Amino acid sequence: MKNIANYLSISRIIMSIILAISETFSFPFYIIYIYCGISDILDGFIARKSKNESKLGARLDSASDIIFVIVAIIKILPALNLSKGIIIWTVIIALIKVTNVICAYICYKKLVLLHTTANKITGFILFITPFIIANTNSIIFEIIICSIATFAAVQEGNYIRTRNYNI
């Protein structure tokens, strides 16, 4: 029971791999996708409530988040009919996020993955995106998502630059 949060993170890695081989937007895809989202919320909550937070747990959570996001991007983006402008904007956001991680590592010799409120909001909106865009294909929703994600990425870079966080 002590390591349940870590087991949830590990299960998210396994389910992300299964998600990678499932048919995009199929019923099994959505079930696995929802499981990954719920396990992401629960692992940190359980670790905090049971007072079993650890560096290993934080790293497992971050690693499982990264794997899930990469799989989700590889599966979902090609299935959406996004404009070139939105695709370019998305690549720019990804480059900002990668630059943040690289700069933090160079400056502080640590892997820094911030869980800011803006990053959490972005994560939630991105998580619900397949349920919305797969059925609507709304450019306005895409612009809102990219705007929020851009703000979160720039804010994260500022926090790293000013060292306005705990490492």
pLDDT on residue 150: 97
pTM: 0.79
Say if residue 133's pLDDT is above 80: no
C-alpha to C-alpha distance for 11 and 8, rounded to whole angstroms = 5
Say if residue 86's pLDDT is above 60: yes
Say if residue 87's pLDDT is above 70: yes
Say if residue 166's pLDDT is above 80: no
Task: Among 1-5, 7-11, 97-101, name the one with the lowest average pLDDT.
Answer: 1-5
Q: To which residue do tokens 């994600």 refer?
A: 149
pLDDT on residue 167: 47
Which pair of tokens denotes residue 71? Answer: 């799989």
Q: Is 80 left (phi over 0), alpha (psi -120 to 50) or beta?
A: beta
Which pair of tokens denotes residue 66? Answer: 């990264």
> Is 99 within 8 Å of 157 (Cβ atoms)?
yes
Say if residue 85's pLDDT is above 80: yes
pLDDT on residue 113: 77
> Is 153 within 8 Å of 93 (Cβ atoms)?
yes
pLDDT (tens digit per residue) in 33-77: 999 999 998 988 898 888 888 888 888 988 998 899 899 989 988
Q: What does the CA dihedral 29, 30, 34, 36 come to, rounded to 10 degrees?
A: 10
* Burial per residue of 46-76, b for 16 or more beta-carbon CB atoms within 10 angstroms, e otherwise: bbeeeeeeeeebbebbebbbebbeebbeebb
Span 14-36, mean pLDDT? 96
C-alpha to C-alpha distance for 158 and 67, rounded to whole angstroms = 25
Span 137-166, mean pLDDT? 88
Domain boundaries, the chain: 1-79, 81-167
C-alpha to C-alpha distance for 76 and 35, rounded to whole angstroms = 16
Span 6-33, mean pLDDT? 95
